[in-house]
Structures are given as C-alpha cells and as structure tokens.
Amino acid sequence: MKNLTVFWLTIFFVTSCSSIPTQLISFDQKIIKVPELGIATNQELGDTLMEYTVVSSSPSWEITSEWVSKKNIAGVYHVIQPQILKPLTVDINGIKSYGISKISAFGGLTPNGPVNMTIRANYTDKGLCFLLQRNECLDDYIVPAIYIDLSQPNVKQQLIYNGRLGDYVKFLYREVSEGAYLRQPFTQEIQYDLNEGKIIGFKGARIEIINATNRQINYKVLQHFSPVL
C-alpha cells in the first residue's frame, strides 16, 4: 500500500512538472543591519546592541496546524505536519508550487509513520492544492511566511551588552551560521576601558559609547561588522 501511494504521488509530481513550462523560484540573499548608523540607541543588560545578518530566503507559506486527510477505501489516511514550505517553481501563468515534506501515512497495510518524500502543492485561488488520495486544498491553515534556504550560506553576527565594571564596559560577541556555511556557534567575551576613548571597535564594527551603567547603555553604531561571508 505504501509503494502504491508513493507511485501515485510520483505520477502527480512528474505530470504537474511537465504539463506547463515552469522555472525555478529564485532565492534572494539579503543583508540586514540593525540599528541604523548614527542613531542614539538605548539598550539594557543582555540586549543585542547591533546585528548583521546574511540570509538566503524567498516568500512562501506556512502550514500552521496539523491536517488530516480522509481515509481511502483501504483505510489509509495521511497527516501533514505544520511546516514552512520550500518554494519550487513558477509557471508561465504565475502559479507557484511548493514542496510539502513533513507527511505521515497511517492505516491499512501502510507502516505507520513518516513518508520519506516531498509532494508538490500549487497555490491557487482555492488555496494550497495538492494530491494525496484525491485533490485537496488548504485555505484555513496557511499564512504567508519566509522560507530560509539552508543550502545557501546564512550567518548572523551579534554584539550583546554585558554591563559595566568600573571604567570597563563588557560585551559578548556571538556568531551563528546555518546552511552551506555551517560551523559551530562562536562566542567571545570582550571588554574596553572607557579611559582610552568612547569609540570601541571589534571585527570592523565601530560603536560610540555615550553613557553606560551596569544596567543600561546609550550608544551609536558608526560602522557595522565586516562581513564574514
């Protein structure tokens, strides 16, 4: 039964790809820098003072609640788990398709549990439409979302305020990566003597300290991190 289910899903996948000319949906690499340069900003102990993010993403849809199909004549039904869908293609009519990968099958002679495959879903005026045992469309459990492409490099650099001790201000630098650039998260504690100046620098970033206590800091970002990608 499981092989038969996979067979029909595969037939749908192939025919839906070949009937109308399509092209792959492209992913945009975005660089996000916060806060803006030269703007006086207040943060508290433990807050992120500045952040530099490189991310490859594309608009998509999120299935927000578990969805259960009806049983077929063999007593088999499918469960689609909540997930953000991977954008796949767009056809000449502007219809976009997405991959649903978190699927389980239950009942009949099917081994209960996840199905190791991805089915294609098209977004139309009826909602998110796909084929399992029959044509189905979801419109109640989907919301717009951003899909992060983990086959591309994604990295986030952060500088976190760790307080003041005497004339020294303390920070925590954190670097987190995903996807093609994947490596272990990296953190480093740093501190600066305010007697040596109000402008501090680290990994290309420049921050002007206006005022700092053990609980709060007022500052301006003069220059963001040098990119690690």
Helix (H) or strand (E) holding 172: strand 168-179
What are the structure tokens assigned to 201, written together? Answer: 């620098």
Kindly provide the b/e burial profile for residues 103-118, where b requires at least 16 CB atoms within 10 angstroms of the residue's own CB: bbbbebebeeeebeeb
Residues 110-162 pLDDT 10s? 678 898 888 999 998 888 999 876 788 888 889 999 998 877 778 889 999 99
- The pLDDT score that the predictor gives to residue 28 is 80
Nearest in space to 67 (alpha carbons), one of 144, 19, 127: 127
Rounded distance between C-alpha atoms, residue 160 and residue 168, angstroms: 15
- pTM for this prediction: 0.60
- The pLDDT score that the predictor gives to residue 73 is 84
Find the range with the poorest average confidence among 12-16, 93-97, 136-140, 172-176: 12-16
Residue 10 in this model has a pLDDT that exceeds 60: no
Residues 75-110 pLDDT 10s? 888 999 999 999 999 998 889 999 999 999 998 776
Query: What is the band of 164 on the pLDDT scale with cuts at 50, 70, 90?
Result: very high
For residues 62 and 86, the answer to whether their CB atoms sit within 8 Å is no
Nearest in space to 153 (alpha carbons), one of 176, 184, 185, 180: 180
Residues 25-45 pLDDT 10s? 878 888 889 999 999 999 999
